[in-house]
Structure 1
Amino acid sequence: MSEIHTGGCQCGAVRFRMEGVPKDVSVCHCRMCQKAFGAYYAPLVAVGTAHVTWTRGAPKRFASSNFVMRGFCEHCGTPLTYEAPDGLSLAAGAFDDPARLPPTIQFGIECRLAFADQIPALPARATLDDLDDAPFLPDVVSCQHPDHDTDDWPPEGSP
């Protein structure tokens, strides 16, 4: 049986299915990926010979260079793809179960921010341990799409 991974954007307007084993799972530190993801690095799943199907909607695309297109949800802005002459990569965090796709290599290390390696050593707190500074946290109701395929989205009565 083929390996199957599903995922999509934050709002659920775009969903995908990847069948097969990815070429690799990486973290890219290049400045272009930092800006595209709004983060210190971009976790990416290189599709390789796996097959990707857009099961709901499709990403909008932005040419971030003369060789690279970046796909994202036009409704919620979730980064979804990195598309270059060497193939398609999907945003690792957009998968329903990203823990199944741990990174195995880093790229663009010349732009790696010096403090990125120190993040695991920082003090850490669980979300609800921050109630003094953010007392609204127990009342948060997520409007994000669930981490699984659904027949319809958004659900009836959602904001």
Structure 2
Amino acid sequence: MTTYSGGCQCGAIRFRVSGKLKDSSICHCRMCQKAFGAYYAPLVSVRGADFEWTRGERKKFRSSNFVERGFCGDCGTPLTYEAPDGMAVAAGAFDDPSALPPTVQFGVEGKIDFVDHLHELPGHRTEEDAQAAPFVLEIASYQHPDHDTQVWPPEDRA
């Protein structure tokens, strides 16, 4: 049985999912855009899998008469879309989101036209911006690492 883990960027909330995850999607509806602060929301359904919160408790916002959205109250990371037909977890909250590629798009009536052309934009590595923003060469991430930890934050940073 495959096991996936993940959590928010500050590490206050962690989760584990065991089982087959087959419904990975992107939603373009306006509510998802606002909930994620992005052009679309990548989500992975956990219906039929064993899901557990392993650290912390998410806060929830009722975004409609049917849906609640979970997020970290400390760092704001979007975590869940919870509807009567089950829960989906933000794909980027998984420790390895590349293992869960989307297979379908929803809410395409809200899709922003340029989204289909993002792959045509020039791409640059982070360090290529060092001349304009030299601090990028000295960034030390305080985000939770992409694996489970016994204690977070580290005691030398607490």
Partner secondary structure for residue 137 of structure 1: helix
> Which residue does 1:48 correspond to in 2?
47
Equivalence map 1:22-33=2 (5 Å): 22-33=21-32
> Which residue does 2:92 correspond to in 1?
93
CA RMSD, 1 decimal: 0.8
Within 2, Cα distance between the matches of 1:5 and 1:41? 23
Partner secondary structure for residue 96 of structure 1: coil
Structure 2 stretches lacking a partner, 5+ long: none
Displacement, 1:23? 4.1
Within 2, Cα distance between the matches of 1:23 and 1:97? 15
> Which residue does 2:150 correspond to in 1?
151
Cα deviation, 1:5-43, whole Å, max 9, x if unaligned, reads 000000000000001112400000000000000000000
Structure 1: 4+ residue segments shifted above 6 A: none
> Which residue does 2:134 correspond to in 1?
135
Within 2, Cα distance between the matches of 1:18 and 1:147? 15
Give the % identical residues: 62
> Which residue does 2:109 correspond to in 1?
110
Partner secondary structure for residue 61 of structure 1: strand
Partner secondary structure for residue 136 of structure 1: helix
TM-score, normalised to structure 1, is: 0.97
Q: How many residue pairs end up in the alignment?
A: 158
Name which of structure 1's ranges 67-76 and 15-24 shifts more when overlaid on structure 2. Answer: 15-24
Equivalence map 1:57-76=2 (5 Å): 57-76=56-75
